[in-house]
Amino acid sequence: MYTLSLIGCGRISYKHIEAAIKNADRLSLLAVCDPIIERAEQRAKEYEAQVSGTCIRVYSDYREMLAKEKPDICAIATESGYHPPIAIDCLEAGAHVICEKPMALSTQDADAMIAASHRTGKKLAVCFQNRFNAPIQRARKALEQGRFGKLYHGMVQIRWNRNDAYYAEAPWRGTWELDGGTLMNQCTHGIDLLQWMLGEDAVRVQAVTRRFARPIEAEDFGSAIVEFKNGAVGIIEGSALVYPKNLNETLSLFGEKGTAVIGGLAVNKIETWRFADAEQVGDTESAVLNPDEKDPPTVYGFGHSALYADFIDAIEQNRDPLISGEKGKKALEIILAIYKSQKTGLPVDLPVNFSAIEMKGSFDA
């Protein structure tokens, strides 16, 4: 049985409580921590109500929690800009770390987290939970089996709505220091999927981003073309402005022998599935499409529990988690290259060193 502490008890934290409950056969929540103590108490209550015989300790200071509880695993769900120092403290204190996305807001901070994980021998995973969505896993398997043939291009569209009230709810949102814009916050999942499918090695990025309407520092719209080492080309369209509510998040993949489009509210539904070997494999489009498939209740989907299960497997088998620090950094680096391309007006070659904070003032009139 591994022990877990949760650091940061805001909007997304219930997904970590849910994941801990779903993995209760191998994981036991010890403590929750938030300087806004009522939030931590609320999460503790939710867990205690569902896992009988538990009494969760509540902290406002994660360093005190680390010293007293010595958890095996820490989950970090604070504002993005705080992830690096907290993750490094947890790793140094001997805990494995599951960190919310984006892992950091600069390549330097991401590298420091990865280095701390190696130095301490503790595992680090980043919450790109949509990789565990069933249609995404299906596409990934088809890719690994070579069923697409040569991959030519792919596209991810994140057409969502985050209104003024969403930004007013938590002032850190949309700031360069703690969040970044819609690419860094909402679209990072889709960008991770695109790069995971198109070969993981992005080599060049050209971008146009805008802050059209939202009362924030960073972008509320972004578009980019990403070239990969294997020759594939990725196209990114991400928006927080879609009127009047979330429309879709769709990943399209086009290869010499296969086409897959996975859409729905948050890459949860197969919309097109055409492969040269479909009859042979037994997954023709009509067999695979499920028009009655429901969207998840929120765009967060259901992947956190599977991500936790993979993380515990990784500890037990002494292997990397599916989305290790190195893998989690890849989408971050593409987004930072997009930012740099917007700032310079030029294509940006990867690897790149950049920080969201270098964008400060970019959209000021």
Q: Of 12 and 225, which CB lies nearer to ligand NAD in the complex structure?
A: 12
80 binds ligand NAD (CB under 6 A): yes
Judge contact between 220 and 132, C-beta under 8 A: no
Told to check if 36 binds ligand NAD by CB under 6 A, we report: yes
Q: How far is the CB of 320 from ligand NAD (least distance, A)?
A: 19
Indicate the residue among 60 and 230 with the shorter CB distance to ligand NAD.
60
User: CB–CB of 228/153 below 8 Å?
Assistant: no
78 contributes a contact to ligand NAD by CB under 6 A: yes
Q: Residue 242: which of 300, 180, 166 has the closest Cα?
A: 166
Q: Does 34 bind ligand NAD (CB under 6 A)?
A: yes
Return phi, psi of residue 220, to 5°: -110, 0
Candidates 167, 228, 300, 339; binder of ligand NAD (CB under 6 A) is 300
CB nearer to ligand NAD: give 101 or 329. Answer: 101
CA distance 254 to 252: 7
Which structure tokens are listed for 357? Answer: 């904070």
- Which residue number is nearest to ligand NAD in terms of Cβ? 10
Q: Which is nearer to ligand NAD, 39 or 269 (CB)?
A: 39
Which member of 4, 5, 8, 187 binds ligand NAD (CB under 6 A)? 8
Considering the complex, state which of residue 234 and residue 328 has its C-beta at the smaller distance from ligand NAD.
328
CA dihedral over 164, 224, 247, 142, signed as positive or negative: negative
x/- track of binding to ligand NAD for residues 203-222 (CB under 6 A): --------------------
Q: How far is the CB of 227 from ligand NAD (least distance, A)?
A: 27
37 binding ligand NAD? (CB under 6 A)? no
Contact between 107 and 350 under an 8 Å Cβ cutoff? The reply is: no
Q: Determine if 101 is a binding residue for ligand NAD (CB under 6 A).
A: yes
Asked whether position 48 contacts ligand NAD by CB under 6 A, the answer is no
Instruction: Give the nearest distance from C-beta 276 to ligand NAD in angstroms.
Output: 35
In our burial notation (b when 16+ CB lie closer than 10 A, e otherwise), range 295-312 reads eeeebbbbbbbbbbbbbb
Question: Tokens in use for 174?
Answer: 């949309």
For residue 161, give Cα distances in angstroms to 173, 211, 242. 14, 14, 5
Name the segment binding ligand NAD (CB under 6 A); options: 19-27, 29-37, 159-167, 249-257: 29-37
Q: Which of 171, 156, 179, 158 is nearest to 106 (CA)?
A: 179
Choice between 147 and 269, CB closer to ligand NAD? 269
Alpha carbons 251 and 109: distance in angstroms, whole number: 29
| Cα-based distances in Å from 176 to 8, 134, 172, 214, 359 | 20, 33, 9, 14, 7
Q: What are phi and psi of 15, to 5 degrees?
A: -70, -30
Stretch touching ligand NAD by CB under 6 A, among 2-10, 22-30, 50-58, 283-291? 2-10
Site membership for ligand NAD, residue 62 (CB under 6 A)? yes
Per the DSSP assignment, residues forming a β-bridge with 105 are: none
Q: How far is the CB of 168 from ligand NAD (least distance, A)?
A: 12
d(CA 136, CA 116): 30
Could you say whether residue 43 binds ligand NAD (CB under 6 A)?
Answer: no
Can you tell me the distance from the alpha carbon of 365 to that of 361, in angstroms, rounded to the nearest whole number?
9
Residues 126-145 that bind ligand NAD (CB under 6 A): 127, 129
Q: Is 12 in the site for ligand NAD (CB under 6 A)?
A: yes
Which tokens in the block code for residue 86?
Answer: 């907290």
Site for ligand NAD in 148-177 (CB under 6 A): 170
Segment contacting ligand NAD by CB under 6 A, of 5-13, 154-162, 194-202, 319-327: 5-13
CB atoms within 10 A of CB 42: 17
When asked if residue 82 is in the footprint of ligand NAD (CB under 6 A), the reply is yes
d(CA 338, CA 225): 9
Q: Does residue 358 sit in helix, strand or coil?
A: helix
List interacting residues with ligand NAD (CB under 6 A). 7-13, 33-36, 39, 62, 77-80, 82, 100-101, 127, 129, 170, 185, 300
